[in-house]
Amino acid sequence: MIKIGTAGIPHSAKGGSSIDGVKKVSELGLQAMEIEFVQGVRMSNETARELGKVAADLNISLSAHAPYYINLSSKESIKRKESAKRILDTLERGNEMGAKIIAVHAGYYSGEDAEKIFEIIKEGCMQILDKAKEMGIKTLLGLESGGKLSAWGRTRELARMHKEVKGCYPYLDFAHIFACNNGFIDYEKVLDKVQAVGIKHIYAHFSGIAFSEKGERNHLPIMEGGPDFEGLAKELLKRKLPATIICESPLIENDALKMKSIFEKLGYKF
């Protein structure tokens, strides 16, 4: 099953609440929505539960994006501790709303050896997931593709973390992968890497992207530059690989609907 959704509340929603957003996503004929906690986790558990009920009634799949101020590989212990709390708070709200997964930018290389950073982030994830288990949280910890060369999260690292830490899951950002490869992406190789470790459902972000030699600069509409969406759609359909794809374009719902129409053009029926 393929699901297409928006990163946040659609621009055309009548109100500014997440519930308004979910209702609009349903009206548009989309199937998913990512709740944006990028500036902080400011939703109560009660509101999360209410949101989850509305989404379930409308058959909309929810996910959540953790705050940007996260760095599990920081050299400062207080920043690692604060990062872990933000991730756990996002997991808790995600669990309350029935989200399958959250997306997290886990950390940075900061000039250190990549293997050392992997182990530091791994330890942080294990500690967070141990606490999440104690709290009865079932939502997956989705580790997102790094957008800059300085940001942790190459596809091989996400796949390896999934293999080594139960509860960690690759959250592919195809625009980020494209930017970090200087404007190139091989969907076949990317999907091979995650399927090799047992991934049977792809969770992903997609948008156009402007980039420099350091990686991501900013997101763009999907027709203004970046990876080719039709190529991804064809590869997913060829593999019969289920996916939930969240549109992070500035034209949130318009580009999400374009993505949906591309799948339909290829013969997929939502």
SS3 letters for 134-194? HCCCCCEEEEECCCECCECCCHHHHHHHHHHCCCEEEEEEHHHHHHHCCCCCCHHHHHHHH
Q: Say what the pLDDT of residue 68 is.
A: 87
| pTM as predicted | 0.95
Below-50 pLDDT ranges, the chain: none
Tokens 């609440």 sit on residue: 17
Contact assessment for residue 158 and residue 191, using Cβ atoms and an 8 Å cutoff:
no
Tokens describing residue 37: 């906690």
User: Residue 56: CB partners within 8 Å, gap ≥ 6?
Assistant: 98
Q: Say what the pLDDT of residue 132 is.
A: 96
CATH topology assigned to domain 2-265: TIM Barrel (3.20.20)
Q: Say what the pLDDT of residue 216 is.
A: 86
Q: Say what the pLDDT of residue 40 is.
A: 86
Q: Say what the pLDDT of residue 110 is.
A: 87
Give dist(CA 120, CA 140) in Å, integer: 19
Q: Say what the pLDDT of residue 45 is.
A: 94
Q: What are phi and psi of 47, to 5 degrees?
A: -65, -40
Of the candidates 51, 72, 70, the one whose C-alpha atom is nearest the C-alpha of residue 62 is 51
Q: Say what the pLDDT of residue 127 is.
A: 96
Give dist(CA 120, CA 73) in Å, integer: 6
Q: Say what the pLDDT of residue 252 is.
A: 95
Q: Say what the pLDDT of residue 34 is.
A: 97
Give dist(CA 48, CA 34) in Å, integer: 13
